[in-house]
Every structure is written in structure tokens, then in C-alpha cells.
Amino acid sequence: MSQIWIIMRFKEGYKVRSMAGENVVIMQGNAGSDMTRIISLNDTSLLLWNALQGKEFEVADVANILVGEYEIDADTAERDAKAWVEKIQECGLV
């Protein structure tokens, strides 16, 4: 089954903070006080978060960033970009 990709944007109010050596996504304000669910970003996810923050993007944009940053082919970048987008959608960040 093919997935239809739409233009996305990170939801307002989420910020990345360094906590105990980890880069974690937190919700600003009262909603962010519930720490029962932590979203931790590895170095690549942090790179993508910073590059795309405040912008509209789609899977192709994510793949282009990966190709520009790492020595990978376009097919691998697209596969990795799709997996990353699926994960951030699952986490409710877009």
C-alpha cells in the first residue's frame, strides 16, 4: 500500500532541549510538564529538526537534506526520509 505524502510542518510549541546529555523534544508551557513520554532525537534527527523547524516540508525535502549531509544515494535517502517522517507523525510532532 503506498502512502500519500503531504506537506508538513512541525507543530507550534515544541522545542528541543538538551537534558542529561540527550536531545529531547518538549512542549512549552503547562502541557510540557508531563514527562511520562520523552521523545529523544539522535544526531541525524536533530539535524533534520533544525533544518526544517518553522518551514513546510515533505519527504523529498528530508531526503535532500540527508543526501547533502551524508554519503548516501538518493534511494537510500528517500527510504530513510520516509521512515523518519512516519516516526515523527507517529509521535504527533507534525
Tens of pLDDT, residue by residue over 16-33, are 999 889 999 988 765 545
Instruction: Let me know if residue 20 belongs to a domain.
Output: yes
Question: Looking at residue 79, what DSSP letter applies?
Answer: H
Instruction: Let me know if residue 79 belongs to a domain.
Output: yes
CA distances, 23 to each of 1, 16, 42 (Å): 33, 6, 7
Residue that the C-alpha cell 527510504 belongs to: 79
What is the arithmetic mean of pLDDT over 55-81?
97
Domain tally, the chain: 1
pLDDT at 3: 58
pLDDT tens digit sequence for 55-67: 999 999 999 999 9
| Residues of the domain holding 47 | 14-90
pTM: 0.83
CB count in 10 Å sphere of residue 42:
9
C-alpha cell at 86: 512516519
Instruction: Let me know if residue 5 belongs to a domain.
Output: no
